[in-house]
Each structure stands twice: as C-alpha cells, then as structure tokens.
C-alpha cells in the first residue's frame, strides 16, 4: 500500500471509529444497553456498553478493503475477517442478551479453528532461538491459545481506557514487526485495528462515557491471536508476540492460575485481577491505565524488540519480561484469596 494512502486510511479509520462510537453510545442509551455494577465491576454508575461495535465495523471493513485491494492474502482475510466477524457478532449478541458460555466457547473455538485451517496449521513452534516440531498438536495448541486470548482480553476489559490503550499499543507494535518482516497486508490490518481502537478510546478514556463490551474486547483478543499466528508462520519467534501482549497475558493468566489453586470457581465474577486491585487501592482508573501504558512502552516492547532482532537472547528476554510481570501480578494480589480494599 502506498504510504500516503495508508496514512489516509489510518486517519479515516480513527475518525470513523470515533464517530461511530458516538452513534453506538446514543443507541445504547436509547435501548438501555447498559453495564450495571456487579461484583466484578470497577464502576458504580450504569454506563453504556458495546462501543467496541464501532471498532469491529471499521476494522472488518478495513480487512475487506485490504483483501479486495489485493494487499491482504485470501487466507489472512479468512482468518482475520470471517473469523473476526463471527467473534464480533457473538460479542454483540452477548452484550445485549448474555449468551450462555458454552455458545460463546463454541463460536470461539470454531473461529480459531477456521483461522488455523486458513493459515495452513501450525506444525512448528518458532521460539526464536530454535524451532519445535509439534505435529498435529501444534494446530490444537494454536486453537487453544487463540481461544484463551479472546477470553483474557475480555477479562482485562475492566477499567476506563484499559482495553483501548492496549489495543492501540499492541496493534501498533504488531504492525511494526509484521511490516518489517514483509508481511505487509497483516501489518496494515494490525495498524488499522489500532487506529479504530484509538477512535474508540476518545470516548473511553477516563472517565469513560461508554464501555467496549464483548463485541470489542473479544475481537481484539481474537485478532491479535491470529496476527501472532501469521507472524509465527512468517518466522517471527513466539517470545516476541508473548512479550508484546505480556501485560494482559500475565495479569489474566497468573490470576486464573491463582484462583484455580485457591479452589475458587474460575468462571465466577471477581475483582482480583492485578489491575482491579490496583485501581481499587488508587481509587482511580487513570493511574492504573497509564501504568500499563508505561509497562508496555518502557519495559515489554524493548524486550520484544531484543527477542526479535537478537534471536539468541529471545528465551532470556521472555523469561525476564514475563517472569517479572508474573511476580508483580502475584505481589499485587491478583487472584489471591483475602479481602479486597473497599472502593
């Protein structure tokens, strides 16, 4: 894609998403599609949800445009576009009528399987410094990983600006790596997703006027999972992608493990993710959202760059980055039993 046209497309995606988010907010207020406070919530005032529909519309149209324009290969378009549409549509329905978990899981697994099939499977796992031959298990591993990313991005959509900033930064970083790896269509798809998220963030920055909802958070998780698979198939090591999404990955994964070890119901609503505990203690969302931005930009992304450009250090970079974050989540009492300070 011509650079001038690409920049214009990014600006158009941002503006369109911001405008559509305002329309979605008006629709949600009119139809009373509201996020009401519960035991998992970090807010007290009912707030419109489903703003991620604007991200989904802009991004999916962008993927279609990239495919029609011959920039995005058909296999990538199926994984990102068709699978993404299924995920976003299910998320929108869930925002409106709370679909059963088994229905959502079935769609998630089917969409992930579709993407893995379209991309030709994942028989090998590139660790950067070496490659593991996984055979058929690689395909199963890829499906499970994408499904987990869908859900963890949904879990982490809990305070103002959190999911929006992560989508902007992760999309931007993934796009950079893919572009430099000459996977140009997927790179532009990642950047356009980031631009759409930036438009939504205009409304979601603390104090939020609308929440993303499942339609946006699940689409983000799915899209980043598929983009990472595309990157793996193109030779970029696994630790690069894990570090880029490390902030959300460590918080959600360590919290889930802690809850399971504590014999708590992992599907039960709670407020024990590290970001939730931190926001409760701070009594504000903004400092925590900004802290996650800092962790990404100043800590994780430089390590991801090291793992990418110096593959012999990929394992060390991954161990240091993800290990330190895991310890911080644990120390912040993510997923740990005990009283949480009152809001």
Q: What pLDDT digit, counting tens, does each position of 109-166 carry? A: 999 999 999 999 998 888 888 888 888 899 999 999 999 999 999 999 889 999 999 9
**CA-to-CA distance for 83 and 221, rounded, in angstroms?**
12
**CA-to-CA distance for 42 and 159, rounded, in angstroms?**
6
Structural contact between residues 222 and 167, judged by C-beta atoms closer than 8 angstroms? no
Q: Band the pLDDT of 334: cuts 50, 70, 90.
A: low
Percent of the chain with pLDDT over 90: 73
Query: Domain extents for the chain?
Result: 12-35+43-331
Torsion-angle region of residue 50: left (phi > 0), alpha (psi -120 to 50) or beta?
A: left
Q: Band the pLDDT of 342: cuts 50, 70, 90.
A: very low
**CA-to-CA distance for 3 and 9, rounded, in angstroms?**
10
Torsion-angle region of residue 112: left (phi > 0), alpha (psi -120 to 50) or beta?
A: alpha
Angle between helix 52-68 and helix 83-97 axes, rounded to 10 deg: 160
pLDDT at 56: 98
Neighbours of 313 (CB within 10 A): 16
Q: What pLDDT digit, counting tens, does each position of 213-270 carry? A: 999 999 999 999 999 999 999 999 999 999 999 999 999 999 999 888 888 877 777 7
pTM for the complete prediction?
A: 0.94
pLDDT at 42: 66
pLDDT at 43: 67
Helix or strand holding residue 47 (H, E):
strand 47-48
Mean pLDDT of 304-316: 96
The alpha carbons of the chain give a radius of gyration, in whole angstroms, of 19
Strand 124-126 relative to strand 34-35, pairing:
unpaired
Indicate the average pLDDT of the chain.
91
- List Cα–Cα distances, 19 to 198, 202, 276, in angstroms: 12, 10, 29
Task: Say whether 100 sits in a helix, a strand or coil.
Answer: coil
């Amino acid at each position: 894609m011509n650079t001038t046209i690409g920049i214009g497309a990014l600006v158009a995606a941002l503006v369109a998403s911001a405008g559509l988010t305002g329309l979605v907010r008006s629709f949600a207020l009119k139809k009373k599609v509201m996020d009401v406070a519960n035991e998992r919530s970090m807010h007290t005032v009912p707030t419109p949800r489903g703003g991620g529909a604007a991200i989904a519309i802009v991004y999916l149209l962008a993927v279609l445009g990239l495919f029609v324009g011959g920039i995005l290969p058909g296999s990538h378009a199926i994984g990102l576009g068709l699978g993404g549409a299924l995920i976003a549509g299910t998320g929108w329905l869930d925002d409106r009528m709370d679909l059963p978990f088994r229905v959502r899981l079935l769609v998630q697994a089917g969409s992930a399987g579709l993407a893995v099939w379209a991309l030709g499977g994942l028989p090998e796992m590139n660790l950067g410094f070496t490659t593991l031959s996984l055979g058929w298990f690689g395909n199963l591993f890829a499906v499970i990983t994408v499904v987990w990313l869908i859900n963890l991005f949904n879990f982490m959509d809990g305070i103002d600006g959190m999911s929006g900033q992560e989508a902007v930064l992760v999309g931007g970083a993934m796009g950079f790596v893919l572009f430099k790896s000459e996977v140009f269509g997927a790179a532009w798809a990642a950047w356009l997703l980031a631009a759409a998220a930036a438009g939504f963030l205009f409304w979601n920055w603390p104090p939020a006027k609308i929440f993303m909802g499942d339609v946006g958070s699940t689409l983000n998780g799915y899209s980043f999972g598929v983009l990472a698979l595309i990157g793996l198939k193109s030779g970029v090591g696994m630790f690069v992608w894990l570090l880029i999404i490390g902030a959300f990955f460590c918080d959600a994964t360590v919290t889930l493990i802690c809850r399971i070890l504590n014999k708590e119901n992992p599907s039960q609503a709670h407020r024990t993710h590290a970001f939730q505990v931190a926001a409760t203690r701070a009594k504000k969302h903004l400092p925590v959202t900004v802290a996650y931005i800092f962790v990404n930009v100043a800590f994780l992304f430089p390590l991801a760059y090291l793992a990418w450009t110096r593959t012999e250090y990929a394992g060390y970079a991954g161990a240091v980055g993800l290990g330190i974050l895991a310890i911080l989540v644990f120390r912040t009492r993510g997923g740990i039993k005990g009283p949480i300070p009152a809001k």
